[in-house]
Amino acid sequence: MLPVDLLTLLAFIPAGLALNLTPGADMMFCLGQGLRSGRRAAMAANFGIAAGGMVHATLAALGLGALVAAHPAAFEVIRWLGVAYLLWLAMAALRASSFAVEAQVVPTPAIRAFWQGLMVNLLNPKVILFILAFLPQFVDPARPILPQFLTLGVVFSLGGLLVNGAVGVFAGSIGQRLARSAALSRWLSRVSAGIFGALAVRLALMPRS
């Protein structure tokens, strides 16, 4: 027996996919990773983001997400940690642009890209609010709550893997071709730094509501 009613699941899949297709921080992060470090790093970051989404879904099912959202101090701590982390990534990309002399994108180990994607997702309080607002609409209180949240989280994360993965792979392919020029390689790192910095500003200016 499915944890989630089949009709509910069939309604959730297109709704979740539509949200996955909406450009957001996760998609832009995969774009930046792809441009800077290629397809492998972009996909690793993509899996890290998906893992972060599953963590958020689990915490929401356990009630911890609501607890964080209800306490402004905890919410703000997470938000500013996320801002600081994104700014650190932007600075790292800028530093890399100073050394981009070889005809290839700046390599980032897959495990590092995975953890970067995971941390970017976990330190984005907007994801907490989104999970709390979206997933419960498809949860039946008469059924066990945790299996439903986990099932919906898996489905939503799979959609994100497909969409963000496609963006990352495309950006990685373009980045690898452009990086044949050392000058263009430096600019790719600067573009990535700009994306990470813009995400930090976006998170910093995000309204509390």
Coil vs helix vs strand at 64: helix
Q: Is 159 exposed, middle or buried (0-12, 13-18, 19+ CB in 10 A)?
A: buried
Predicted TM-score (pTM) above 0.75: yes
pLDDT digits (tens, 9 = 90+) for 74-125: 888 888 988 998 898 888 777 765 654 444 455 678 999 999 999 999 988 8
Domain boundaries, the chain: 37-204
Separation of alpha carbons 30 and 52, rounded Å: 14
The pLDDT > 90 percentage for the chain reads 31
State the chain's mean pLDDT as an integer.
83
Coil vs helix vs strand at 1: coil
Neighbours of 6 (CB within 10 A): 9
Separation of alpha carbons 148 and 139, rounded Å: 6
Q: Report which DSSP code applies to 99.
A: T
Q: Residue for token digits 């994607």? A: 117
Q: Where are the alpha helices (DSSP H) in 38-144?
A: 39-62, 64-70, 72-97, 110-122, 125-134
Q: Residue for token digits 């397809």? A: 39
Q: What is the pLDDT of residue 122?
A: 92
Separation of alpha carbons 106 and 157, rounded Å: 28
Q: What is the pLDDT of residue 117?
A: 94
pLDDT digits (tens, 9 = 90+) for 134-182: 888 898 888 888 899 999 999 999 999 999 999 999 888 876 666 555 5
Separation of alpha carbons 208 and 194, rounded Å: 24
